[in-house]
Structure 1
Amino acid sequence: MTNRKLGKGALALISALAVAGPAAMIPGAASAYVFNNVRIEGNQRIEPQTILTYLDIPRGRDVSGGELNAALQRLQNSGLFETVEVVPSAGTLVVRVAEYPTVNVIAFEGNRRLKDENLNEIVKSQPRRVYSPAQAEADAAAISQAYAGQGRLAARVDPKIIRRSGNRVDLVFEIREGDLTEIERIGFVGNRAFSDQRLRNVLQTKQAGLLRNFIRRDTFAPERLPVDEKLLTDFYRSRGYADFKVQAVAPEVAQARDAFYITFQIQEGPRYTFGNVSTISEIPGVDAADFEAQNRVRQGQVYNPATIDTTIRRMEQLAIRKGLNFVNIEPRVTRNPRGQTLDLTFALTRGQRVFVERIDIEGNTTTLDEVIRRQFATVEGDPFNPREIRNSAERLRALGYFADVQAESRPGTTGDQVVVDVNVEEQPTGSLSFGASYGVSSGVGFNLSLNEKNFLGRGQEVNLSFATGSGSQSSGLTFIEPYFLGRDLKARAQVWYNTTDRLNSDYNTRSVGLLTAMEFPISDNGRLELRYKLSKDTLFDVEEIHLDEESSELVGSSPILYREQGGYFTSAIGYTYSYDSRVAGLDPLTSYRFRFGQDFAGVGGDVESVTSNLYAGVESRAWRESVTLLAEFEAGAVHMLNDQNSRFLNRYSGNGKIRGFEPNGYGPRDLEAPNEDALGGNYFWALRTEAQFPLGLPEEYGIKGGLFADIGSVWGLDDTAGANGVEVDQGMHVRASIGASLFWTTPIGPLRFNFAKALQKEDYDEEQPFDLTISTQF
């Protein structure tokens, strides 16, 4: 582009000369001039009357040099002219102007990260419009800001023009994108209880590391700093540090603008436990003893604001059940710095008599009003409870339908009424996901999932999925109505079709079925599901034992499997009780999960049985929260009724229950059959323990280590007559394994490498000393 003639520096010089010119051309700036005529030269598009309006020079009377300079300034500042010249000539004032050219085309050079179509949406300059240097500079700043939003603070944008015939110019933005402005280091000052590494794991912002070209959170985003401050504050206060505060956050940019250094200056304060805890009533006629039973704060317990909030919520709900309106639960805290305890008193006080006049909802274009309103326990005419309004807003945010939710109150038509304004900002709730997975045993697999969390704006969830792997296929459709009949009843309907094609076996399986379920809460952390399932399960392509003509050897599967092949219907009703301590979230360090369910088959169909399943799990953080400890116990039993025998697809296999063994790698097996197929068992139990810990590598690499130990068994058959009439060993033989794991969070998904060693096994068990799993969405 050698024909570029005029850049922003040249334009600035011309403007300066034009402003200074008249003073040089008018001898004696204080002299007076009289003009009877004004002659305008050089204008092409601008009407003379427009120029005269800006000029505003009277005719036939004295005009000072200062007034001429002011007229020149008005013309120059109009933004219509590239150059302006005012020349007195006897009784005529000659005004020579050069209009700004017209923009012919707008082009971008040097951009790779942002496409031309994206940049065209940013710039305000337009083709076939008058070129404006000020607007071109503003456009360059806007483009730079767009690159800064992507973490490229070193980006430089220079607007250049190329002269064309017909008073036209091409406007070209020369872009130097620069490298990502990465966060090279996040440091902390004032932390003693937790290491820098542990605190960095709390933040949303991350350091740049080995995967800096893939992980976008290592770029500096100023809007994330308030979020990080809130995360740090919540982290410390939930662990007893009631006086914690972030004193300052100091982001510093390197001189080359290619790196950031962020330092959080914090004050931890002492770690408090609860001291004396009591409940008092300052409302006549209200007994505090009834409310004391709702207290969940115990003396000696580590301070956690969530426990206080939960107790207040329970007391407020009790007040509503008792018909007590306008009751405030006021937590009064007394600090004892010497003993590092907090004495806590829940005081029942009389609140102001204010009612909810109405709830106004704005911003929802797709989501129905009723979906939003059902998250509010408060309706028009109820006593106003600010805490309940805040809780309702939190429930709305948790739905995932909205990018932002604001719920605020304002005075109503009378002094004892308020209007609650709910403003929501909707966000996409549908997703189309493609995925891939890999396992040493299952091989490479692919999956497709179409999910809509807010179907037709009704708050319903629809999921359509399809997955295929080496020797297996599965597909399903799930529909969930979270508020069936307008209540907190989760209704679920599900259909599926699954097949296996000789997946680590010498037979094929097929399962097709449907399930309907209803789930509802029975406590703060507990839920109960009632369900009905109808399925047809088929075992086929089982080889009968015979002599192979080519090899002259016996081939075929166990007679037990051969007798069980064919399809059968299972019609069952069931229930599952589940408990998850994470729902209330009172203890940030330890969580408990429990499930127990039973399915009763025989409501029609071919199978009559009772199947029971138990799961209990605990997860905790130790050693200053750097180590995660997990323990899981599972057990199950299939009990057949009316002298029926269990079938292969009803029984339990060893898939994934004990690491270090292949799928179907342990449990009852017909060793007399040529194929030695695993048969599954009517009973199983498994105990899995694991510890996950850092390896001393920078946390931005996403690499952790782990150790595990598993123990368990699969056993029990109704039909034990195997090949050659030999009884199959179906005893409860304990298997055990230990191993090490490597966890790596990568851009393509989380990888887990398992290295296992079976310590206790049977001679016929099939081991799997190494396993690699990966799953991702893209």
Structure 2
Amino acid sequence: MTDRKLGKGALALISALAVAAPAAMVPGAAAAYVFNNVRIEGNQRIEPATILSYLDLQRGRDVSGGDLNAALQRLQNSGLFEKVELTPTGGTLVVSVAEYPTINTIAFEGNKRLKDENLTEVVKSKSNRVFSPAQAEADAAEISKVYASQGRLAARVDPKIIRRSSNRVDLVFEIREGDVTEIERIGFVGNRAFSDQKLRNVLQTKQAGLLRTFIKRDTFAPDRLPVDEKLLTDFYRSRGYADFKVQAVAPEVARERDAFYITFQIQEGPRYTFGTVNTISEIPGVDAADFAAQNRVRKGDVYNPTIIDTTIRRMEALAINKGLNFVNIEPRVTRNPRSQTLDLTFALTRGQRIFVERIDIEGNTTTMDEVIRRQFNSVEGDPFNPREIRNSAERLRALGYFADVQAESRPGTAADQVIVDVNVEEQPTGSLNFGVSYGVSTGVGFNASLSEKNFLGRGQEVNLSFSTGADNQSSGVTFVEPFLFGRDLKFRGQLWYNTTNRYNSDYNTRSVGMMTGLEFPISERGRLEVRYKLSKDTLFDVDPIEVDPDSGELDGSSPILFNEQGGYISSALGYTYSYDSRIAGLDPLTGYRLRFSQDFAGLGGDVKSVTTAFYSGVESKAWREGVTFLGEFEAGAVHMLDDKDSRFLERYTGNGKIRGFEPNGIGPRDNAAPNEDALGGNYFWALRTEMRFPVGLPEEYGIAGGLFADAGSVWGLDNNIGAYGIEVDDGMHVRATVGASVFWTTPIGPLRFNFSKALAKEDYDLEQNFDMTISTQF
């Protein structure tokens, strides 16, 4: 392919022609020259008038060598000609041009990571347009930038041409993609309280490791550095280091451009605790004592700006409840370097009387204005509260509808008025997911879901799901309206259809039903849901006890189950109270959850019962957040009315309650029946504890360890007479297990290995000493 390489040689030749031409165009160019005619040669597409306009020389007047040189430069710089010559011949000025060729096609060679159509969007050179060497070089630079944004700083792009007939060329970009320029090391200078590894875990940028082929966060992205600086600052200051600063960030690239080294220079400063904490009022008639009761900062606590901010929010909320407008809560901090304490005073001061004139919303093309406005507690005409505006913006970001939310104020039409500008950038809110899951008990399963969390821009959530395992299937439709009638009133509607087929048993089940509910707040952290549920639950294909004619052996399930088979309609009203300390919580390291529910069946249907359930959970981080403790306790009871006996599908089976046992593996069991199927129980309790901790590997590998201990029981039958009139043991027998877990966040999904050993069990229980679960979406 001769003439193919454009590169520096061709560009140098073009430049040399432009420089050398004035000197060669006419001997003795210093003398004045007069011409009366202009003859243009070599142009095919460019009109003579266009060339004359660039030439810009007057006939019949004296023209110096400098004038001719300037005319030559104007023609050359027009970007229309590959070669230009001016030759004075008597009274005629001969203009010889060679036009740039026309681009026939544009092609890319060597690109594997990026598709041709993606690169075509980057380049500005186009087919059937005049070829420009400068534009081709600029296009090559843009392609290199695209590769650099993906961490391939060593990528090289060379534009080359292949000449065709009729003054046409093919423009080819030859690409050498190179390897990813990885971050080989992230280091810190000045850290004493925390190790390099701990600080690396805080950053969004990650250091390359063994899984560098799959982990993409180990490529260098300059726009992540400011985020990393803020993450480091928040990390230190939330742990008492009020004077912490990131002094400098130094990214360096290796000479071969195949590796980055990033060094953070930091200044930790001393670790402060709170000293004296006071609340004062500088507003006449406002008592500070009521506001002091909202203070959760205690003397001796480690300094944490989040606790100060939360206390200010509580005090501001109290001021609003008292009808006190334009009250500022000003935190005044006095440092005591010697004792490494901070004296804190919350001062109530009178703020400027400013009102919200209006709230302008821009950027929402799909989401309705009312969905955005309902996240603002302030409306037009209310006193202006900057903190409430910021909190409203945070609530908007938390919805997940927007890629970015900016809420800023500007002066209004009067001195005491402000206008709040809300600018949002929408992002996709719908998803179509397909997945695969695996469990030792359930086998390989497939799932699919279609969800939209901002349906028609109304903030409504719609979800359709389907999943199947080796012995079970489930499908459902859910609809959620989070602000019914424009209030903090959540409506939920749900339909489901679930089946099991000999799931660790010798019977099948089917459940089809619907549920509607309303949920609303009753306190700052507490919510109440009231609901109605209608379902038909069916137990079928229960084998009766009989003699196998071929083997002469007995086969079949317990008479208890055989007598309970059939479909039963349940119509129930219920409620659930839930409490979550993480809602406006003061402790960023510990969270508590409580839940209490009851369902009353008997509003029509075949079932009359009261089902009561209780759940409590705690999650806490310790040892500089390196270790996470989890504890859960739950219990439930089914009480039948009208002296009726409970049926299997109304009772508890213990599935998923205690690790180390198979589904349907614990609880009362009719051992006299040949199939020895589990019967379930009217009561259960379960206590689960777990500790998760790092195992010493870099955080980007996604591998952690865990230890757990579970205990619980399933017991109680209304009718415990089983096969052959033998009484079934339905007593409350405690089961207990201990085990270890390995957590691995893999590129295809979270993977968990559980290894367990039962410390207390019954002889008929079914153990499961190993379990592996994985789920993924694509």
Q: Distance in 2 between matches of 1:60 and 1:499?
A: 100
| Percent pairwise identity | 83
Partner in structure 2 of residue 311 of structure 1: 311
Trace 1:54-65 onto structure 2 (pairs within 5 A).
54-65=54-65
Whole-angstrom CA distance in 2 between matches of 1:255 and 1:5: 27
Using the TM superposition, give the Cα deviation of residue 6 of structure 1 relative to its aligned residue in structure 2, in angstroms: 4.3
Q: Which secondary structure state, in structure 2, belongs to the residue aligned with residue 84 of structure 1?
A: strand
Structure 1 residue 554, shift from structure 2 partner: 0.7
Alpha-carbon offset, residue 321 of structure 1: 2.1
SS in 1 for 2:222: coil
Alignment of 1:632 onto 2:632: yes
Residue aligning to 1:104: 104
1:362 maps to 2:352? no
Q: Does 1:113 align with 2:113?
A: yes
The residue aligned with 2:553 is: 553
- The farther-off stretch of 297-306 and 636-645 is 297-306
The residue that corresponds to 1:45 in the other structure is: 45
Amino acid at match of 1:52: L
- Letter paired with 2:139: D
Partner amino acid for 1:389? I
* Pair 1:290-2:276 in alignment: no
Aligned-residue offset at 1:187: 1.9
Deviation of the 1:316 alpha carbon: 1.6
Answer yes or no: is the 8 Å Cα contact 1:22–1:87 preserved in 2. Answer: no
> Displacement of 1:29 after TM fit?
4.5
The one-letter code matched in structure 2 to 1:192 is: R
1:476 aligns with 2:482: no
Q: In structure 2, what is the equivalent of residue 646 of structure 1?
A: 646
**1:493-514: CA deviations, max 9, x gaps?**
1110000011111000001111
Q: Secondary structure at the match of 2:476?
A: strand
Q: What is the RMSD of the two structures over their aligned residues, measured on CA atoms?
A: 1.4
- TM value normalised by structure 1: 0.98
* Residues 499-514 of structure 1 mapped to structure 2, 5 A cutoff: 499-514=499-514
Partner of 2:138: 138
Taking a change above 3 Å as real, the CA distance of residues 8 and 292 of structure 1, as seen in their structure-2 partners, is same
Cα pair 1:499 1:510 within 8 Å, conserved: yes
- Give 1:3 deviation, angstroms: 5.4
Matched, 1:487 2:487: yes
Could you tell me whether the CA contact under 8 Å between 1:151 and 1:181 is conserved in 2?
A: yes
The question of whether the paired residues in 2 share the 8 Å contact of 1:691 and 1:707 is answered with: yes
Q: Which amino acid is 1:721 matched to?
A: I
CA distance in structure 1 between the partners assigned to 2:528 and 2:29 by the alignment: 93
In 2, are the aligned partners of 1:461 and 1:479 still within 8 Å (CA)? yes
**In structure 1, C-alpha distance between the alignment counterparts of 2:64 and 2:284, rounded to whole Å:** 87
Amino acid in the other structure paired with 2:176: R
State the partner residue of 1:188: 188
> Structure 1 residues 441 and 197 mapped into 2: Cα distance closer, same or farther (>3 Å)?
same
Pairing 1:158-557 to 2, within 5 Å after superposition: 158-557=158-557
Residue identity in the other structure for 1:222: P
* Residue correspondence of structure 1 range 763-774 to structure 2 within 5 A: 763-774=763-774
Query: 1:365 Cα deviation (Å)?
Result: 0.5
* 3-state SS of paired residue (2:636): strand
**Distance (Å, rounded) in 2 between the aligned partners of 1:427 and 1:409:** 24
2:758 and 2:182 map into 1 onto residues whose CA distance is 45
Q: 1:445 to 1:530 in 2, by over 3 A?
A: same
1:6–1:162: 8 Å Cα contact kept in structure 2?
no
- For the 8 Å contact 2:43–2:99, the answer to whether it is kept is yes
CA distance in 1, matches of 2:643, 2:270: 67
- Which secondary structure state, in structure 2, belongs to the residue aligned with residue 138 of structure 1? helix
Deviation at 1:530, TM superposition (A): 1.4
CA separation in 2, counterparts of 1:244 and 1:580?
A: 32
| Pairwise CA distance, 1:8 | 4.5
Residue 218 of structure 1 aligns to a residue whose secondary structure is coil
Equivalent position SS for 1:496: strand
The CA deviation string for residues 567-587 of structure 1, in whole angstroms up to 9 with x for no partner, is 111111112222222222432
CA change 1:524–1:229 in 2 (3 A) is: farther
Give distance in 2, aligned partners of 1:28 and 1:389: 77
**Distance in 1 (alpha carbons) for counterparts of 2:221 and 2:66:** 50
- Asked whether the 8 Å contact 2:5–2:160 carries over to 1, the reply is no
Distance 2:324 2:640 in 1: 54
- State yes or no: 1:80 paired with 2:80: yes
User: Secondary structure of the residue that 2:217 maps to in structure 1?
Assistant: helix
Aligned 8 A contact 2:462 2:478 in 1 = yes
Alignment-mate amino acid for residue 424 of structure 1: V
Q: What is the aligned partner in structure 2 of residue 93 from structure 1? A: 93
* Equivalent residue runs for 1:640-679 within 5 Å: 640-679=640-679
Q: What residue identity is the alignment partner of 1:328?
A: N
CA distance in 1, matches of 2:624, 2:310: 26
- Structure 2: distance between partners of 1:45 and 1:3: 23
Distance 1:212 1:87 in 2: 63
Indicate if the aligned counterparts of 1:15 and 1:82 stay in contact, CA closer than 8 A: no
Q: Distance in 2 between matches of 1:310 and 1:540?
A: 56
- Please give the per-residue CA displacement for 1:178-203, whole angstroms capped at 9, x wherever unaligned: 11111222222222222222222222
308-317 or 421-430, which deviates more: 308-317
In structure 2, C-alpha distance between the alignment counterparts of 1:38 and 1:3, rounded to whole Å: 33
Q: 1:124/1:657 Cα in 2 relative to 1: closer, same or farther (>3 Å)?
A: same
Alpha-carbon distance in 2 for matches of 1:2, 1:735: 82
Deviation at 1:528, TM superposition (A): 1.6
Q: Which moved more, 1:204-213 or 1:437-446?
A: 204-213
Change (3 A) 1:470 1:342: same
Amino acid at match of 1:629: F
The one-letter code matched in structure 1 to 2:438 is Y
* Cα displacement string for residues 51-92 of structure 1 (whole angstroms, at most 9, x for unaligned residues): 111111122222211111111111111111111111222222
User: Which residue identity lines up with residue 504 of structure 1 in the other structure?
Assistant: N
Distance 1:512 1:268 in 2: 60
TM-score (norm 2): 0.98
The CA distance in 2 between the partners of 1:237 and 1:610, in whole Å, is 50
Amino acid at match of 1:39: R
- Does the Cα contact within 8 Å between 2:534 and 2:572 map onto a contact in 1? yes
Residues 166, 90 of structure 1: alpha-carbon distance in 2 compared, 3 angstrom cutoff: same
CA change 1:178–1:585 in 2 (3 A) is farther
How many residue pairs were aligned?
778
For residues 7 and 30 of structure 1, do their structure 2 counterparts lie closer, same or farther at Cα, with a shift above 3 Å needed? same
Greater alpha carbon shift after TM alignment, 624-633 vs 137-146: 624-633
Partner of 2:149: 149
Give the letter for the 2:592 counterpart.
Y
Contact 1:558 1:673 in 2 (8 A): yes
Could you say what secondary structure the match of 1:33 adopts? coil
In 1, Cα distance between equivalents of 2:186 and 2:586: 29
Change in Cα spacing, 1:150 to 1:6, as seen in structure 2 (3 Å) is closer
**Equivalent-residue separation in structure 2 for 1:202 and 1:244 (angstroms):** 15
- C-alpha separation in 2, matches of 1:756 and 1:509: 29
Instruction: Extract unaligned runs of 5+ from structure 2.
Output: none
Structure 1 residue 602 corresponds to structure 2 residue 574? no
| 2:613 pairs with 1:620 | no
Q: CA deviation at 1:2?
A: 4.5
User: Which is further off, 289-298 or 407-416?
Assistant: 289-298
Q: Which amino acid aligns with 1:295?
A: N
Distance 1:642 1:340, change over 3 A: farther
Contact 1:496–1:512 (CA under 8 A) maintained in structure 2 = yes
Following the alignment from structure 2 to structure 1, what is the Cα–Cα distance between the partners of residues 288 and 190?
Answer: 42
Conserved 8 A contact 1:547-1:553: yes
DSSP-derived class of the 2:139 partner = helix
CA distance in 1, matches of 2:528, 2:189: 48
2:718 aligns to what? 718
Does the aligned pair in 1 maintain the 2:526–2:579 contact within 8 Å? yes
Instruction: Give 2:701's aligned residue.
Output: 701
